[in-house]
A and B are shown apart, each in its own frame.
Chain A
Amino acid sequence: MFKTTPLLAGLASLCLASQPLLAAEETVHQHGAHVHGVAQLNVVLEDGRLDMEFTTPAANIVGFEHPPRTAEEHQALSKTIGVLNAPGQLFSLPSAAACRNTETVVDASMLGHETHDQDTKEDEHPDDAHHHEDGHHGSERHAEIHADYSFQCSAPEKLDVIDVLIFQYFPATQEIEVQRIGPQGQGGQKLTAKAARLTL
């Protein structure tokens, strides 16, 4: 269940209380699970706003987990980031729900890729630096890519299913573990290429 993922926008405020403790930096080793082929998708639908957070081992979608070295690797990474920046291709929402993508943030900093998004404010990622470190320290040579999507829906009651098309673009992804919070409460689901429909 536990994941090492970059902390998100909004978390800055949450973390304030624990900052002194973080500064003390006790020597507690914590290593999250990192399983190639398995990605995570968190979905929240509240007050007509749909938020999705997609976290995946870089290997699933780029094919390597180190900063790109060759021209091919550079090309692969920018192609992947291009796809991740097009939520309309990755998720198919019921058109009746009339959802509009309001924000997309793709974070591939663990592969040494600079995040450059129109809506992203620098101060929303206060712990990027620390995560950078996480990705490279010791023998743990794993890297994750993280993408956040927000949608505003004018008829959220019509939003009952989401078809996740990620498998089509990134066939190395075997399984997506979904945690969702919707009008029906919390729920979990495991999506695969054959069963890629998420029910809210």
Chain B
Amino acid sequence: MDIVRLAARSLYNRRYTAWLTLLSIALGVALMLGVEKVRLGAKTSFANTLSGADLIVGARSGAIPLLLYSVFRIGNATNNIDWQSYQAIAHYPAVRWTIPLSLGDSHRGFRVLGTNRDYFEHYRYARQRPLEFSAGQPFDDVYDAVLGADVADKLGYRLGQSIVLSHGIDSAGLAKHDDRPFRVVGILKRTGTPVDRTVHISLAGIEAIHVDWQSGARIPGAAVSAEQARAMDLTPRTLTAFLIGLDSKRHVFSMQRAINEYRPEPLLAILPGVTLQELWDMMSVAENALLGVSVGVVVSSLLGLLTVILAGLHERRREMAILRSVGATPWHIVTLLVTEATLLASCGVLCGVGLLYLLLWIAQPVIESHWGLYIVIAPPTGREFILMALTVGAGCLAGLLPAWLAYRYSLADGMTVRV
């Protein structure tokens, strides 16, 4: 214990270099653990977004893009699928439920999703959790809208309020569907998934706001009032994608094949869980690169620690000699230096963890609102503890080299040092 106190005092004596070393270790550790947290956060929030759907069907493109645009609202569809194909597949005997998805419009930066009431009944997230309403109910009328928790929170919307949707995903909202306002009839409870950032309206609603639009602009002189639109045939002609739930998992693969070989239209059916796995496999290269870089930062900060101790060693030969003169054995000197290194590394790790949680606490809402990534502020995981322990261990190891040199000096120097 005396050695620890002595090491701490000695560090205090050189507090400026010690602080800087500690800071660089702390930054490295915060970066390394932060990469780890974001990786885990991304995985969980992706994995929790969709549960219970056996297949996702969209126009034939890539499996990963289909998963990203249909479920995570990342990117856009290259093609839409025909309503007839949807109807045909939805009536296959093995199909228990389907959820149609029609994307492409937005409301003040939030995506608008056209769907039907099956969405509220069959959509599951996390571990088979259904969607719940914090207020109101599912849409009924053509011009009804159900808001995700974030939409309602951020924009301060309440039930009964009327909102105007924008054409396309342009948040500047140059092309507005201002002639057909929607009424908020329901607000969903928070799910921690992209659902929170979605405005849900019926497929008929999507059709209704586009009846007098052509080629991305309103047809001049062809104004159809909201009430006239209501009377028109609002059966959609196309969909972006749809989700399928089957009676038995056993039918998943034959259904997937049937859809992939569907003659009238080239379609793609994916198993969301399998595609998510593919996405992780693809991302693992980037993940490892990020982790590698952050480990590199930790290593270089530990090298900094080594440099600081080594550089100080020469100046401290007198200190060592005095310690020896008051009865310290060479082994005491070794322990002192290793303790100093370990102390610096452990304090660095602790400060790094503190810094990380502080940053997470500040950045979490920002990350969530900008990227929809909900990073859980939870105690460090086993893997993170291992990374921390490795850092302290490496710090302790880094102390061994100066300790060995000091041991050599203290044996040779005796009291004859002149600094």
Task: Tell me the A residues contacting B by CB distance below 8 Å.
Answer: 1-5, 7-8, 10-11, 13-18, 21-22, 24-26, 28, 30, 32, 42, 44, 46, 49, 51, 53, 179-181, 185-190
B253 CB within 8 Å of chain A: yes
User: How many residues of chain B get a CB closer than 8 Å to chain A's CBs?
Assistant: 36
Beta-carbon contacts of B110-121 to A below 8 Å, as 1s and 0s? 000000000000
A192 to B91, CA, bound (A): 39
Q: Is the CB of B251 within 8 A of A10?
A: yes
B153 CB within 8 Å of chain A: no
Contacts of B60 in A (CB 8 A): 2
Distance between B69 CB and nearest chain A CB, rounded to angstroms: 16
Contacts of A1 in B (CB 8 A): 62-63, 260, 268, 270
> Of the candidates B63, B266, B273, B281, which one forms a contact with A30 in the assembled complex, judged by CB atoms under 8 Å apart?
B266
Q: Is the CB of A3 within 8 A of B257?
A: yes
Task: Tell me the B residues contacting A by CB distance below 8 Å.
Answer: 51, 60, 62-63, 88, 91-94, 248-255, 257-258, 260-266, 268, 270-275, 277-278, 281
Q: Which residue of B lies closest to A21 (CB)?
A: B264
Contacts of B264 in A (CB 8 A): 18, 21, 24, 26, 28
Q: Is the CB of A181 within 8 A of B254?
A: no
Q: Which residue of A lies closest to B267 (CB)?
A: A2
Distance between A164 CB and nearest chain B CB, rounded to angstroms: 17
A17 to B265, CA, bound (A): 15
Apart from A11-B257, A28-B264, what are 7 other A-B pairs with CB-CB below 8 Å?
Answer: A2-B268, A3-B260, A8-B254, A10-B250, A13-B94, A44-B249, A190-B281
Q: Is the CB of A189 within 8 A of B277?
A: yes
Q: Which residue of B lies closest to A46 (CB)?
A: B249
Distance between A41 CB and nearest chain B CB, rounded to angstroms: 10
Distance between A168 CB and nearest chain B CB, rounded to angstroms: 25
Pull 30 A–B residue pairs with CB atoms less than 8 Å apart, ordered by A. Answer: A1-B63, A3-B257, A8-B253, A10-B250, A11-B254, A14-B92, A14-B93, A14-B251, A14-B255, A15-B258, A16-B93, A17-B88, A18-B262, A21-B263, A25-B263, A26-B264, A28-B263, A28-B264, A30-B261, A49-B250, A179-B253, A181-B271, A181-B273, A185-B51, A185-B273, A186-B272, A186-B274, A187-B274, A188-B277, A188-B281
Q: Is the CB of B250 within 8 A of A44?
A: yes
Instruction: Given the known inter-chain contacts A2-B268, A18-B263, A28-B265, please indicate yes or no for A7 contacting B258, CB distance below 8 A.
Output: yes
Most buried by A among B91, B92, B268: B92
Contacts of B262 in A (CB 8 A): 18
Contacts of B257 in A (CB 8 A): 3, 5, 7-8, 11
Q: Which residue of B lies closest to A127 (CB)?
A: B261
Distance between A76 CB and nearest chain B CB, rounded to angstroms: 28
Distance between A70 CB and nearest chain B CB, rounded to angstroms: 33
Distance between A147 CB and nearest chain B CB, rounded to angstroms: 14
Contacts of B278 in A (CB 8 A): 188
Q: Is the CB of B275 within 8 A of A188?
A: yes
Distance between A139 CB and nearest chain B CB, rounded to angstroms: 20
A163 to B395, CA, bound (A): 43
Contacts of A181 in B (CB 8 A): 249, 252, 271, 273
> Of the candidates B91, B250, B261, B272, which one forms a contact with A4 in the assembled complex, judged by CB atoms under 8 Å apart?
B261
